[in-house]
Amino acid sequence: MFRFRNLICLAGMCALILASGCTKADKSDQVYTVVVTQPVGASTGAQEMSLPGVVKEAQNVKAAFKAAGQLMNVAVKEGDYVRQGQLLATLDDVDYQIGVDAIQAQYTQLKNEVARVKQLYERGSVSANEYEKAVYGLEQVEAQLRSKKNQVDYTRLYSPATGYVEDVYYHKGEMVDAGTPILALIDGTNMQIEVNIPQDVYKRRDQLSDFNAMVAGTDYNMSLLSITPKADGTQMYKMLLGFPSGADASLASGTNVTVRFALSGNEDVPQGISIPVSAIFYEGSQPCVWVVQPDNTVTKRVLTLSSLNLNGMAGVEHGLNVQDTIVRAGVKHLHEGDHVEILDRECSTNVGGQL
């Protein structure tokens, strides 16, 4: 009986040893599937970036009468497309027309008197001084007549620009003063795209080029108009881009777009390279990556990052070479010396390279 129990214990110990050996072997033989990439060197060319933007009018025009009066008609409504010179609204011009008629009668009378004085002057019946006074008086009345006629013209408001009616502030029957805006126009002849750029891009504003935007199915090559040198409350800087001449006049203000542009290499870090942010893991506060060795094992590499961390890419000052192959996806499950199997980025089971 004692010998039988010893045999049972011996068999159990052997089983534990074998199980332990198998587990260790299984762990050492485990292979992790990863996606890899190579660092991009600053010398390989400009980095393409994308930022959201919005189409907006270059200016918002407030249209107003140059005379005061009662609105007789507003010929447009909000959302209407108008062309420069199109009639927008009219004032009651009755009183202004009466003023024109009164000055016109005075002018006609004075003009006839000057003609008679001229004949007398030519015959020597009046002095040159009297004739000059008559002519001067006629010129004054003529200037008053032009002013009255202008006031009649000012009772008609014409569009100062081609675009869309954004707001109508007054309507038929209301009294308005000279210079009071009647309606607001979106100047559709000169549209722009406004983009907010972060501080890291603003610092390298002299290295921006090749601006491009897709708007309503049309690809536009944009030109840089300005970058505001003061940040807003969110520490973003406003960049304005201009459309090429002949751009579609129906571009809608407020349309959201994506703007693409090139950001050339950082001259302050000529040896700097960039890698996807997804390739980085941290040990404490120290950024690291897994570098794939020729035997398909991984080893940890400690990095020194630059301040640039844009568009899903992080700048690396020290720790990598452009020839290194690093793990881009699957970094969280790896340990020093682990074997990896490189997954084809175009694999149908890895759409978008997210594994």
- Which of 99, 194, 180 shows the shortest CA–CA distance to 146? 99
Neighbours of 258 (CB within 10 A): 13
Residue 67 has what pLDDT?
Answer: 94
Instruction: Kindly give the parts of the chain with pLDDT less than 50.
Output: 1-2, 4, 7-9, 14-27, 43-44, 266-271, 345-355
Per-residue tokens: 100: 């024109």
Would you call 200 helix, strand, or coil by DSSP? helix
Residues 6+ apart with CB under 8 A from 269: 42, 306, 315, 317
Residues 6+ apart with CB under 8 A from 44: 322
Is the pTM higher than 0.85? no
- Give the strands of the sheet with 181-187, arranged side by side: 60-64, 181-187, 163-168, 81-82
Residue 41 has what pLDDT?
Answer: 65
Residue 93 has what pLDDT?
Answer: 94
Residue 272 has what pLDDT?
Answer: 60
286-292/281-283 β-pairing: antiparallel
Residue 312 phi, psi (nearest 5)? 80, 10
Residue 293 DSSP one-character state: P
Residue 291 has what pLDDT?
Answer: 94
Residue 20 has what pLDDT?
Answer: 46
- Cα atoms in the 13 Å half-sphere on the side-chain side of 182: 35
Instruction: Give the span between the Cα atoms of 165 and 231, in whole angstroms.
Output: 31
- Rounding to the nearest 10 degrees, give the CA dihedral for residues 78, 80, 81, 86: -90
339-342/31-37 β-pairing: parallel
Residue 34 has what pLDDT?
Answer: 84
pLDDT 10s digits, 129-188: 998 999 999 999 999 999 999 999 999 999 998 888 989 999 999 999 999 999 999 877
Per-residue tokens: 246: 């002949």
pLDDT 10s digits, 18-47: 444 444 444 456 888 888 888 876 544 567
Instruction: Give the span between the Cα atoms of 269 and 273, in whole angstroms.
Output: 9
Instruction: Give the span between the Cα atoms of 106 and 109, in whole angstroms.
Output: 5
In the block, residue with structure tokens 């599937």: 33
- Which of 150, 164, 162 shows the shortest CA–CA distance to 65? 150
